[in-house]
């Protein structure tokens, strides 16, 4: 799995997950339980990971949705 984006914005993460789910792109939200360590103040970002075979499609989907600036440089 490859990192598609990293954010601590739950609304953005939820929206991107909905886009990916609707497009049938396999994904995983990593680090979602790290709030236990940061006291639930949201300083530790969550990583949205996508299957390596679908990373280009996922990047195109987010670019088309106007979210290209949110994409991780790691992808």
Say how many C-beta atoms besides its own lie within 10 A of residue 41's C-beta.
Answer: 8
Q: What is the pTM of this model?
A: 0.83
| CA–CA dist 38, 67 (Å, integer) | 27
pLDDT of 73 higher than 80: yes
Q: What is the pLDDT of residue 44?
A: 80
If one compares 10 and 43, the residue with the highest pLDDT of the two is 10
Region 24-42 average pLDDT: 76
pLDDT of 2 higher than 80: yes
Region 8-31 average pLDDT: 94
Q: What is the pLDDT of residue 38?
A: 58
CA 44 to chain centre: 14
Region 16-38 average pLDDT: 86
């Amino acid at each position: 799995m490859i990192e598609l984006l990293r954010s601590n914005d739950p609304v953005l993460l939820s929206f991107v997950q909905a886009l990916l789910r609707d497009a049938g792109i396999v994904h995983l939200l990593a680090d979602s339980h790290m709030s236990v360590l940061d006291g639930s103040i949201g300083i530790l970002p969550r990583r949205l990971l996508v299957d390596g075979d679908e990373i280009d499609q996922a990047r195109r989907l987010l670019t088309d949705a106007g979210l290209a600036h949110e994409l991780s440089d790691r992808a």
